[in-house]
Amino acid sequence: MGGKSRGPLTEPMFYVLMSFLKRDMCGTEITEFVERRTGGRVRLGPGTLYTLLGKFQDEKLIEETEVDGRKRTYHLTSKGRSVYQEELDRLRQCVQDADEEELP
Amino acid sequence: MKKIRKFIPVSLYDIPGMEQWLEKQAQEGLFPVHLGSWATFQPTAKREYRFRLDVIGKGKDADQPSEEQMELYRQAGWEYVLSIGRAYYLFYTTDPSAPELFSDCQSRGLSLEPLKKAQTSYLRRKIIVYSLVAAALIWALFFFESKYDVQPDRFVRLPLLLLNLFNPILLLFLLCAAFMVRIEFRDSRTLRRTYAALMEGLPPPPSPVPSKWIVWENKLQVALIVPLVLFVVVGRFDSLNPWKEIPLSSFHRPYVAIQELEQEPVLYWEELFDDPPFRDEPETYADVQFSFLAPTWYSVTQEAYSPQAGTQTNAFSPDPEDGKYRYSPDLDMTRFRLLIPALARTIARAQMDSYRLVNLEWSYEEVDYPGLDFVILATTDDPWQMAALGRGGNVAVFCYAGVEKLANHLDQLAAMVL
């Protein structure tokens, strides 16, 4: 699935990709990041996270960089960064559209 | 510790239904230790458990989740219990504050993709295999033509196929296959509906649990499979085994003995020679078959030998050719008692066709015989002859190679159907 054909990201997908922007992350760190970033509004279930990590790996949006016992660390690929950027642009456009059509 | 087994009253593809049923069992003090064709539980303290099924991803170990997955789930308060075939891992938690395994519907939907793909591919493969088998059968029945067959008739043997279709083992097999296919298609529909709902961000469709019908389905599957395995694998039921060759010495149903047909004395191989027959299979034996349309259906195959050897010591022929060969006539007989007498003539013709030596030109004629519905005689230029006699649902078909004329022995043959 390419960036242009994949359609909008779900909220958990968007935040999981966001978690890799500044550094490589392992599963637990991603969960903590998303919870902290959203002020507890988005709590990733472990099944959700594990499914998304598998899917992003299949789509080559992230890649495994380190295996340390039970801990696996992942890195955002340039394709992943571009998918994230596209979604961010889409969301910005949504917000801009909404701002221009302010509620009465 | 005592284990308790139960039939599972939900489809394995009804994920929420399965989870609810396991939670109900746990409330009654039963914790799952094995889930397959049936569920095995061990007693546990009655408490609130949450069970969740998680699809085993493509290329993952079916025995247990990866260490990474196990650790992620454990940190969120979930413990691995067991795997269900190659489809799911089962996790549980007793912590009410543990987050759901899947925090949104779409990600749960995505997790089902490997299972959905595997099931679609399995069903597709199955349809292809069934279609190929059906196509091969249709080809063999209606389009196959042997280059040696000088009088092909593609339809004449179909009545025998009808009898075979009503063989209890085949019926049981077809019943099992139809039953399994029905369950597989229903499971596939359940999975597709669940997937579609989740991917649209909706909860899975509600399931009617527990379902007594699914319990009965499971019981019926076992009830059908057990006798099928007994019939086919163990093969103890000789009378239902079409391949069983019974020695004539222990066969007590009526048949025309080849010695009664011959003017000159003939003997079975064992009576004449000490050595075993030169072929591995017995030459003289009976086969018993069964069809619900033909409760009596058996064949007797006989080969006999003249005590007088030919000039060529090891050559045998139904036609002695001036003493060159040892005279060795053959007599095959198949007898039916049909539940539907209207089938008698077509079954007789079908059996004659299955006896027919395909490279010979056969002439058929009907003759009258008092008390019989029909007598069909078939002859060739060779010593081979056939006769089919019928009265009501009783049919006897003979195939003979020797110096006698079957037409001269109708009294003996008619005794099989009168």
In one-letter notation, the amino acid at residue B142 is F
A101 part of a folded domain: no
Kindly report the backbone phi and psi dihedral angles of residue B180, in degrees, each rounded to the nearest multiple of 5, phi listed first.
-65, -45
A53 part of a folded domain: yes
For position B242, what pLDDT does the model report?
54
Res. A2: pLDDT tops 50: no
Using the Cα atoms of residue A73, residue A75, residue A80 and residue A84 in order, give the sign of their dihedral: positive
For position B215, what pLDDT does the model report?
79
Q: Are B8 and B212 in contact (CB under 8 A)?
A: no
A102 part of a folded domain: no
Total structural domains within chain A = 1
Report the residue from B57, B103, B106 with minimal CB separation from A44: B103
Mutate one of B58, B60, B103, B113 to test the A interface: name it (highest A CB count within 10 A). Answer: B103
Contacts of A50 in chain B (CB under 8 A): 68-69, 72-73
A103 part of a folded domain: no
User: In terms of C-beta distances under 8 Å and separation of at least 24 residues, what long-range contacts does B278-282 make, across chains too?
Assistant: B281/B245, B282/B245, B282/B247
List residues of B whose CB lies inside 8 A of any A CB: 52, 54, 57, 67-73, 75-76, 78, 99-104, 106-108, 110-111
Question: Which tokens in the block code for residue A104?
Answer: 């009465």
Report the residue from A47, A71, A72 with minimal CB separation from B101: A47
Q: Give CA–CA dist B242/B38, Å, rounded.
A: 34
Q: B294: closest CA among B347, B226, B365?
A: B347
For position A3, what pLDDT does the model report?
42
Kindly report the backbone phi and psi dihedral angles of residue A91, in degrees, each rounded to the nearest multiple of 5, phi listed first.
-65, -40
Question: Which tokens in the block code for residue B27?
Answer: 């409330």
Between B209 and A52, the higher pLDDT residue:
A52
Domain interval for residue A28: 8-96
A1 part of a folded domain: no
Shortest alpha-carbon distance between residue B11 and chain A (Å): 22
Q: A12-41: string of b/e by CB count within 10 Å (b at 16+)? A: bbbbbbbbbeeebbbbbbbbebbbeeeeee
A37 part of a folded domain: yes
A27-37 and A11-19 helices cross at what angle (nearest 10)?
110
- Per-residue model confidence as pLDDT tens for chain B (418 residues): 789 999 888 888 889 889 999 999 999 999 999 998 789 999 988 888 999 999 998 777 777 898 889 999 999 999 999 999 889 999 999 999 999 999 999 999 999 999 999 888 998 998 999 999 999 988 988 888 888 888 888 889 999 999 999 988 888 888 888 888 888 888 888 899 999 999 999 988 877 656 777 878 777 777 777 777 776 665 555 555 555 788 888 889 999 999 999 999 999 888 888 666 565 566 889 999 889 999 999 999 999 999 988 888 778 888 888 889 999 999 999 999 999 999 999 999 999 999 999 999 999 999 999 999 999 999 999 899 999 999 999 999 999 999 999 999 999 999 999 8
For position B312, what pLDDT does the model report?
84
A16 part of a folded domain: yes
For position B241, what pLDDT does the model report?
59
- Helices assigned H by DSSP within B9-49: 15-27
Write the CATH number for A34: 1.10.10.10
For position B375, what pLDDT does the model report?
97
> Measured between alpha carbons, how far is residue A69 from residues A53, A74, A75, B73 in Å?
17, 14, 18, 15
Asked if A57 is an interface residue toward chain B (Cβ–Cβ < 8 A), one would say no
A27 part of a folded domain: yes
Asked if A48 is an interface residue toward chain B (Cβ–Cβ < 8 A), one would say yes
